[in-house]
Structure 1
Amino acid sequence: MSGHGAPVPLVAVAHGSRDERSAQAVEALFARVRRLRPDVDVRVAYLDHVSPSPAAALADLAGRGAGEVVVLPALLTAAFHSKTDLPAALAQVRADYPWLKVRYGDTLGPHPLLLDAVERRLAQAGAAAAPDTGLVLVSAGSSDPEANGVIASMADALAARAPWHSVVPAYASAAAPAPGRAVAALRDRGAARVAVAGYLLAPGFFADRVADQAFAEGAAAVSAPLGDAPELARVALQRYEEALRTAPVTVP
């Protein structure tokens, strides 16, 4: 609990993009979180391109008398931004406001509910699992092999949940295969149709790249980013509750 018995505030930190659709999607997601927990002060900050920054959001809360806050990486995999960028920003905040207890949550993914969200978006795109239909699960991609490995594991989990011809991972950047190559490879392996699921939080450059490449190689359907899927809001609140049980960030 925060001051006067109020719940601890939540600051969700997204990557940020020059594309206005990205911030709109993130704001829609956390508007859903607010509807689920109207008692919690839920704020959104961005690592790049969009204001406020994490430091500015936390400074505002500290200036208003907050003694404790949960910072949640609004990211789908743990990679450079959650492992390096955001912890560095939090260390500076803790140095500036040493009385502020900052608890750092886990990224939204991986989580079983996100598989439900992926399937929701596929259904909305008109894609259905069938023995002659292949599926490509596409993330933004990372230079962190562990993050890319998470996507491969999620592809395996999706294959176990429904009778797809096969399910393979792909990456919009930084790793192979690219979405178009993955679609072509599945068609070469005998899939009569190929659907593409974007494991992406919001519309923007990567989502557009995925759709362009996939349709160019004959994909039958490409799902929309996860955005404000209700499963993501539930995961965000679970991560918030988990973070309340962690130790505050310390400054070396």
Structure 2
Amino acid sequence: MTAPAIVLVAGGPDEAPVTDAFRLIAASLRKARPDLRIRLARLGGVSPALPDVIADLANHDVGEAVLVPLDLVSAAGHDEELDTFPHSPDIHIAVSRPIGPASEVLNILDERVREALHRGGALEVDGLVLSAPAGGDVRGTSLLGRRARQWSAHHRLPVQVAVDDGDGRATAAAVASLRGQGRRHIAVGSVYLTPTGAYVNQQQAALRAGAIAVTAPVGDTAHLGRLILARYAFGAMELLDGTPTQLKVDDLDGEE
């Protein structure tokens, strides 16, 4: 029997930069794992729609698929569309945990901070902001706070968390708070997967508030690919016992 297909499920606006970023993530994963069927599906009426992607897999005699939500701020919850969309009974579906604010995300942010500092010609950092979009679940928000504490301990620098509603105000306030403590070389690590309007707003707000560097979106990285495959592996295991249900939430801190 062939391995279940991976369906990367992504929200976000129907904008070319966002779509291109998701397509690049899917393409890199296909290159890394040519043995797996890997598809991209979009939510909220954006093409390719999830029901169409699943129908196409079923038409190609694929009997199982694992849906992996590309969400960096939720640890357990996912869009209700993943539970309610119509699909053929001939294909069994499991929904994995979202990518979430896993500890591996800090490795990505470290890489992105170095890139941002290099672009800006900066050499010194004395404060950090962990910026993320609003909309995550309670567990995800808690983990974001834990990641900030871990990031702070690793670099021995103060870290402020900013959960932004899309206008950049929370990020600007976090930068201002660090500046109020006497910090003048502040970098913002953005836990945004793609360059959405919300990402651009927090980037511009951070720079206006005095940040010297703001990271690019997480986008396509080997770290993200490993996280996707880890979520897929647990989902595929769930399908083995014939009960394709939502996976239980474990403690992410000890997993990655």
Normalised by the size of structure 1, how large is the TM-score?
Answer: 0.87
CA contact (8 A) 2:128 2:187 kept: yes
Where does residue 148 of structure 1 map in the other structure? 141
The one of 166, 175, 178 aligned to 1:186: 178
CA contact (8 A) 1:108 1:236 kept: yes
Give the letter aligned to residue 218 of structure 2: L
Q: Give yes or no for the alignment of 1:168 onto 2:160.
A: yes
Cα distance between partner residues in 2 of 1:129 and 1:238: 35
CA contact (8 A) 2:100 2:140 kept: no
Cα distance between partner residues in 2 of 1:81 and 1:205: 23
Kindly report structure 1 stretches of 4+ aligned residues shifted beyond 6 Å.
Answer: 127-130, 174-177
Cα distance between partner residues in 2 of 1:139 and 1:35: 29
The one of 90, 98, 101 aligned to 1:107: 98
1:23-42 matches, cutoff 5 A: 23-42=19-38
Alignment CA distance shift 1:57-1:201 (3 Å):
same
Cα distance between partner residues in 2 of 1:233 and 1:72: 12
Alignment CA distance shift 1:98-1:83 (3 Å):
same
* Percentage of pairs with the same residue: 29
How many residue pairs match? The answer is 239
Cα distance between partner residues in 2 of 1:39 and 1:28: 18
Displacement of 1:197: 0.8
Q: Cα RMSD between the aligned structures? A: 2.4
Q: Give yes or no for the alignment of 1:137 onto 2:133.
A: no
Unaligned runs of 5+ in 1: none
Q: Give yes or no for the alignment of 1:8 onto 2:1.
A: no
Where does residue 187 of structure 2 map in the other structure? 195
Where does residue 206 of structure 1 map in the other structure? 198
Where does residue 238 of structure 1 map in the other structure? 230
SS class of match (1:75): coil
Where does residue 116 of structure 2 map in the other structure? 125
Q: Could you give the per-residue CA deviations for residues 222-245 of structure 1, whole angstroms, max 9, x where no partner exists?
A: 000000021001111111111111
Give the letter aligned to residue 178 of structure 1: A
CA contact (8 A) 1:30 1:233 kept: no
Q: Could you give the per-residue CA deviations for residues 15-40 of structure 1, whole angstroms, max 9, x where no partner exists?
A: 03132111111111121111111011
| Deviating more after overlay: 170-179 vs 6-15 | 170-179
Normalised by the size of structure 2, how large is the TM-score?
Answer: 0.85
Where does residue 217 of structure 1 map in the other structure? 209
Displacement of 1:84: 2.6
Cα distance between partner residues in 1 of 2:136 and 2:8: 23
Alignment CA distance shift 1:79-1:240 (3 Å):
closer
Cα distance between partner residues in 1 of 2:37 and 2:96: 16
Alignment CA distance shift 1:88-1:20 (3 Å):
same
Cα distance between partner residues in 2 of 1:240 and 1:63: 22
Where does residue 98 of structure 1 map in the other structure? 89
Displacement of 1:176: 10
Give the letter aligned to residue 67 of structure 1: G
Q: Could you give the per-residue CA deviations for residues 145-184 of structure 1, whole angstroms, max 9, x where no partner exists?
A: 43322221211121122122x0111022089971001100
Unaligned runs of 5+ in 2: 247-256
SS class of match (1:82): coil
